[in-house]
Structure 1
Amino acid sequence: MTEEESFAHVALQQVGRISMINAPIPFILPVNYKPVGNDIEFSTAADSMTARPSGPVHFEVDEVINAASIGWSSLFFGTAEWVRPREESGDSVAWPPNHREIRIRIRIRPYRVAGRRVRPVMAPR
């Protein structure tokens, strides 16, 4: 898939996975997100592992339709940074209900985007 197709697909979803490989213990966690231009933003609790971005991050979003054996996956390689309140975009990022902890917003600035489609494998004749 092209970079534009990857961004178009990502705009249709709400949950992705972030990986911070330079964290003391590397991890992959799901987050609610929102595309903002060519960036991706998500909210997180101030005391969570995702609130302290450092080094490169990977962000992945995909969709699979198991019954049809089709889907797509987009992977964003980039850097993450805190979003200052005055820089926040007007719309809020999805946040699970009844969360009262202090939250912050993180922006991922992709420097590389890779996407692929998943298609069924045809049996040889």
Structure 2
Amino acid sequence: MLNKASAQYQQVSTHSGIEDASPHRLIQMLMEGVLQRLAQAKGAIQRSAVNDRGEAIGKAITIVGGLRDSLNKEVDGELAANLDDLYDYIQRRLLAANIGSSEEIVDEVMTLMSTIKAGWDGIAEDVA
């Protein structure tokens, strides 16, 4: 599953060192990628750059899909199911942000992703 997430990240990023990243670090990188794309999308909305907005949001949706694919529902049970629901919500909100050119929705998703990332960052790598 992490290989699939890694492939998603590689499709939308030129970040070096991904091949050597631990599973914990890979998830951090995916979350960082989402936040970067959301910042790009917000800037594109402010500039009324429709193509750039669509591209950045599309890449963010793809990365969130990689995060969803990396969930192990058999091992992590309820936590994985809750994260899957949250990632689904995020993807739907990003579609709405793109359709409505909404900075507010992008801000909402950035807040959600930042909260998830802060929790993940707080997990010791050897525990993850």
Q: TM-score, normalised by structure 1?
A: 0.23
Q: Which has the higher helix share?
A: 2
Q: Which has the higher strand share?
A: 1
